[in-house]
Amino acid sequence: MASDIHGKTLVLKGTVINKLEDIAFKPLIDNEKNEEFIFFKRLRLVEESPVNYEHIYISNGNLPNFIKEPLLEGSLFRTLIIKYQIDVHSMIHEVRAVTADK
């Protein structure tokens, strides 16, 4: 069954390498404080209306050239499975509600 609802994802801040310093990542920082993470921001839209604003952090281990190339068809998971043979089976997703600014 096809849907008439159309969505898309915009990458707002390109991929860069960061260390995890935010207090929200304290459990990760304790275990992976010396690792570098790939970071980017993206906005998900449905029918041109924003529905989700994301900060994405991915361990940089085993992802050569990830930040130098665009995501395949704008998809993080498609890129991971096709380019790096990484099939994501689980993830930690933290949701925070905050007042949006302009």
Residue 17 in contact with residue 67, Cβ under 8 Å? yes
Residue 21, C-beta contacts closer than 8 angstroms, at least 6 positions apart: 29
CA–CA distance, 18 with 55 (Å, rounded to integer)? 12
Distances (CA, A) of 97 to 6, 34, 85, 94: 24, 29, 33, 10
pLDDT at 38: 83
Q: Tell me which residue range forms the domain holding 32.
A: 7-62
Residue 9 in contact with residue 30, Cβ under 8 Å? no
- Please give the average pLDDT of every successive group of 10 residues along the chain, which has 102 residues: 71 69 61 74 87 82 82 85 89 76 76
Q: Is residue 76 part of a domain?
A: no
Model pTM? 0.64
Count: domains in the chain: 1
pLDDT at 91: 76
CA triplet 80, 96, 23: central angle to 5 degrees? Answer: 80
pLDDT at 99: 80
pLDDT at 82: 93
Q: Is residue 55 part of a domain?
A: yes
pLDDT at 100: 75
Q: Is residue 49 part of a domain?
A: yes
Q: Is residue 13 part of a domain?
A: yes
SS3 content of the chain, % helix, strand, coil (to 5): 25, 30, 45
Q: Is residue 16 part of a domain?
A: yes
Q: Is residue 58 part of a domain?
A: yes
